[in-house]
């Protein structure tokens, strides 16, 4: 079945810029950006980021404020500072044997860098890969990582899979099934996350007086290192 999957991927795989490199830094950038952010939004931002900071050394030398500014629009801004700190560690000490020692790098991201940059025999299991594995009951080698991601993202969809277009359908025990959403996504409108985002956007524009901002949101942003409070002024770090 893996042969059929890889053949399908040869014809239907997505042409994504981070698939044209073996640079572990570039792949790490893509993986961090892709956490909870759609591919379509990431592609142009990934290109802009690498044009500005093409190596880990370049990013390591950037000011945190510039990193936060460059991340605007991708959401979950803590990822930007984690990526910045990871680049500083790599620039100073090289890549650690255990990539999960880097800030913001979990088991999946570490596996993705090891597989896609260094061709290590490890299968990165994200939500899409896990879905295909669970529905088919099949096991796959590391060589099928990108193909499984694309199959889960474009064919083996979360709620209504496109089984008629699936290269694994003939032997899939879940063929034809439909699925209820696993959980309702919490409302963004009026959420604390929205309040944090608004406060950060205002500070990105220019330093602000604390009285102009949502104090609770500022405290949360400061705790994450995304803003610095100096007396009555709030600015980027």
Give the integer Cα–Cα distance in Å for 161 and 147.
16
Q: Secondary structure of the chain: what % helix, strand, coil (to 5)? A: 60, 5, 40
229 neighbors 61 (Cβ within 8 angstroms): no
Give the integer Cα–Cα distance in Å for 138 and 27.
27
Reading the block at residue 135, the tokens are: 């529905």
Q: Give the torsion through C-alpha atoms of 66, 69, 74, 75, to 10 deg.
A: 110
DSSP 8-state secondary structure symbol assigned to residue 159: S
- From the candidates 2, 31, 93, 134, give the one annotated as an active-site residue: 31
18 neighbors 30 (Cβ within 8 angstroms): yes
Question: Active site includes 2?
Answer: no
Give the active site residues: 31
């Amino acid at each position: 079945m893996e042969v059929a999957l890889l053949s399908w991927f040869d014809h239907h795989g997505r042409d994504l810029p981070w698939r044209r490199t073996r640079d572990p830094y570039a792949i790490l950038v893509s993986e961090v950006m892709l956490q909870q952010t759609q591919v379509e939004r990431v592609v142009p931002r990934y290109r802009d980021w690498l044009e500005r900071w093409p190596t880990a050394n370049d990013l390591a030398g950037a000011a945190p404020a510039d990193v936060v500014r460059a991340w605007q629009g991708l959401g979950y801004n803590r990822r930007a500072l984690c990526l910045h700190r990871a680049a500083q560690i790599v620039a100073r000490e090289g890549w650690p044997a255990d990539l999960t020692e880097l800030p913001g790098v979990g088991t999946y991201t570490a596996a993705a860098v090891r597989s896609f940059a260094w061709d290590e025999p490890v299968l990165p299991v994200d939500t899409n890969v896990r879905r295909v594995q669970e529905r088919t009951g099949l096991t796959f080698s590391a060589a099928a990582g990108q193909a499984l991601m694309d199959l889960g993202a474009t064919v083996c969809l979360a709620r209504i899979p496109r089984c008629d277009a699936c290269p694994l359908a003939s032997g899939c025990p879940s063929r034809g099934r439909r699925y209820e959403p696993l959980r309702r996504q919490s409302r963004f409108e009026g959420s604390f996350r929205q309040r944090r985002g608004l406060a950060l956007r205002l500070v990105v524009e220019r330093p602000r007086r604390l009285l102009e901002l949502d104090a609770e949101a500022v405290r949360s942003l400061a705790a994450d290192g995304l803003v610095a409070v100096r007396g009555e002024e709030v600015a980027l770090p």
